[in-house]
A and B are shown apart, each in its own frame.
Chain A
């Protein structure tokens, strides 16, 4: 068994929103409280999680337009994906020979997403989370063409806008940012209304809509 690792947030650092507790229940934490939140990690160790967290926060920053990947819990999302079947390439064709192809033939690498991250984190550098934002951006720009960066960027979008049951989009802040209401049973009364006007129903998560906990894919065998 690997040693248990936790990512520790200070509630103020995450903008007074929420993260997830041990039993995956979303917990809203207010900025006034100064409590620490410890999120159990499944794949990363704490050091790695801090590096990834710092990197995704530059890809989708918290800024004047609203919260970003840090508040959305993107690192928690990525940690769970890498720990699950996707992370070990359960669904990708991984038979040899591995040959270098042309871009039109798609990703031909042998490395699993887990391996891509472990190698990518070395490239990112142990000091990444302690650099200034400008220095972080410069380092990421140097990595823009790597497969690791492509995955990191894609996973950041996934972690911002997935259903919260996957660990990201905490408190549905990603959906709130873009006015997406999540899965809901019916828009029959609205489909041909609101022409040209914003219609912004309050978002709901899948678990809220179906009334019970749905088992996410990352927890499959």
Chain B
């Protein structure tokens, strides 16, 4: 084991949150910053050869290597957890830029009421309407407090969008930096039909630029070419905002910041209630200690939680007694692709970008009255032209076709290939006492550390909400001119086989006091003031839409708190 010279700051994880923090600290302080990323280096030029569905979207070349580390999964604490032997329902990223390299670029702000979900729900409907076993709570910050940071994040990424079309959106202090992306055929049908039925469609805010853009750091990115290779792919022209094309070049200007790859952090080290650094295994398998005065965890929802559990920092959540906070309020966006529309004309779906689409928020959050309904909250609903990779897409057939192979199936699947499309329903997933993360007693990673264990299932609120929203979307589908509309139900049980989204939240949640959370509203650990935790692991529950913009806004807010206040007076921020 070797011990390296002390750094002022050690950041675990070189994705969006970690590299954004590194950039802010590099640009605004003279602190020595080391970013420890367990994956490989990356650059935009790598992606030129990357337009290959098989290696990237099916074999998951850019994702975490499950052979070395995965998670285990069970539905309830009474069941036996087994390893997720290959990732499918969510896809953890790895390598420099993390999942920020192969994301879609969908960047809505969360609805204002989601930050005060518990208070607002009880105010409007009474505590009797809260689902059984829920563990929902307010975030400890409000939309108004986060708004300036949303604006800053949008300017950094050059988000393409348009405000003022969606009556449910929170106030924006500035228009989006670039106009919306152009609209493909399928989302244009959705826009027109939704509008005629009284909904309020607006262009999906996109991190894939509608036009060339120079951000406040002087980073210039070109316009998106709608090649259709965003989700699970890196952008070969750099039009999609990615940590490697937006943050790394700025970080490179500051000699005080080092990004060290192949560094797999296994423990946060501490003494007398203060973090003293981290220990990691380097690419040669050697144990290395990196001492640091300030430690920032930015290694994604699952790994942030796991590192604190392995390091024994904070009290692990015990589902039986309800004590402890570390690991609780684990949520996975209830994304649902079960509303499938079959048209009698081609949609040319191979063109597009990950966020090239139109969405409505009329059935999201508390935008509509839930009084007579059997659920609370809702879904962010959109229609997209995002490319149509054929391996993953082929095989959709109308329900009348029962065959799954052979000539009848082949003909039906060929006919449907470019004439069928699904609506994207991103349902809110509430927090429950029964859904949580802890360490698995049996299965281990390649270093011998216990795997993280997910205990997770759907509850009636998600099933009822998806059922309601799907029926509404079936009406929209018919208005769009589909000759056949299929609206399935959310599967009764959570499964790890079907891709939903990589939007996992919770485990190290934020809150207003140490009695209900792991970190404070500045994302600072309640019990260890020189330890900060970034990312969606701090979200008390999932608020429907895609989380990246909110992660970036919160990271900027924490960076300000560290630079402007913590460094001057180290200690717990009030």
B494-531 residues at the A interface, CB under 8 angstroms? 494-497
Complex CA–CA separation, A206 to B53 (angstroms): 10
Asked if B85 and A161 make an inter-chain contact with CB atoms under 8 angstroms apart, the answer reads no
The reply on A86 being an interface residue by CB < 8 A is yes
* CB-defined contacts of B350 to chain A, threshold 8 Å: 180-181, 187
- Max count, chain A CB within 10 A of own CB: residue among B53, B345, B390, B406: B390
If the complex has contacts A63-B407, A214-B49, are A195 and B188 also in contact, measured as CB distance less than 8 A?
Answer: yes
Contact count band on B: 35 or more
The reply on A175 being an interface residue by CB < 8 A is yes
Instruction: Report A141 CB to chain B, min CB distance, Å.
Output: 9
Asked if B226 and A60 make an inter-chain contact with CB atoms under 8 angstroms apart, the answer reads no
Complex CA–CA separation, A216 to B59 (angstroms): 11
Stretch at the interface among A46-54, A92-100, A120-128: A92-100
Asked if B82 and A101 make an inter-chain contact with CB atoms under 8 angstroms apart, the answer reads yes
* CB-defined contacts of A192 to chain B, threshold 8 Å: 182-185, 188
Asked if B410 and A68 make an inter-chain contact with CB atoms under 8 angstroms apart, the answer reads yes
* CB-defined contacts of B69 to chain A, threshold 8 Å: 93
Asked if A99 and B82 make an inter-chain contact with CB atoms under 8 angstroms apart, the answer reads yes
Residue of A nearest to B413 (CB): A178
Instruction: Report B190 CB to chain A, min CB distance, Å.
Output: 13
Asked if B495 and A196 make an inter-chain contact with CB atoms under 8 angstroms apart, the answer reads no
Q: For A99, give its contact among B65, B80, B391, B497 (CB under 8 Å).
A: B80
* CB-defined contacts of A174 to chain B, threshold 8 Å: 390
Asked if B391 and A214 make an inter-chain contact with CB atoms under 8 angstroms apart, the answer reads no
The reply on B395 being an interface residue by CB < 8 A is yes
Asked if B497 and A103 make an inter-chain contact with CB atoms under 8 angstroms apart, the answer reads yes
If the complex has contacts A59-B406, A157-B395, A162-B53, are A179 and B346 also in contact, measured as CB distance less than 8 A?
Answer: yes
* CB-defined contacts of A95 to chain B, threshold 8 Å: 83, 443-444
Asked if B407 and A162 make an inter-chain contact with CB atoms under 8 angstroms apart, the answer reads no
Asked if A93 and B51 make an inter-chain contact with CB atoms under 8 angstroms apart, the answer reads no
* CB-defined contacts of B391 to chain A, threshold 8 Å: 157-158, 161-162
Residues of A within 8 A of B (CB-CB), count: 67
The reply on A33 being an interface residue by CB < 8 A is no
The reply on B67 being an interface residue by CB < 8 A is yes
* CB-defined contacts of A178 to chain B, threshold 8 Å: 390, 394, 414, 417-418
Stretch at the interface among A11-19, A21-29, A34-42, A104-112: A104-112
* CB-defined contacts of B496 to chain A, threshold 8 Å: 104-106
Asked if A93 and B67 make an inter-chain contact with CB atoms under 8 angstroms apart, the answer reads yes
Q: Kindly supply a per-residue 1/0 record for chain B positions 21-60, scoring 1 wherever the CB is within 8 Å of any chain A CB and 0 otherwise.
A: 0000000000000000000000000001101111100111
What are 14 A-B pairs at a CB distance below 8 A? Answer: A60-B410, A65-B410, A93-B66, A103-B497, A104-B493, A106-B85, A140-B405, A162-B391, A180-B418, A185-B236, A186-B226, A187-B228, A192-B182, A192-B183
8 closest A-B pairs by beta carbon, nearest first, are: A183-B51, A186-B225, A104-B495, A161-B390, A187-B351, A217-B55, A191-B226, A59-B405
Q: Can you name 8 extra interface pairs (CB under 8 A) apart from A92-B86, A105-B84, A194-B185?
A: A93-B84, A101-B80, A108-B83, A158-B54, A163-B52, A187-B351, A191-B351, A216-B52
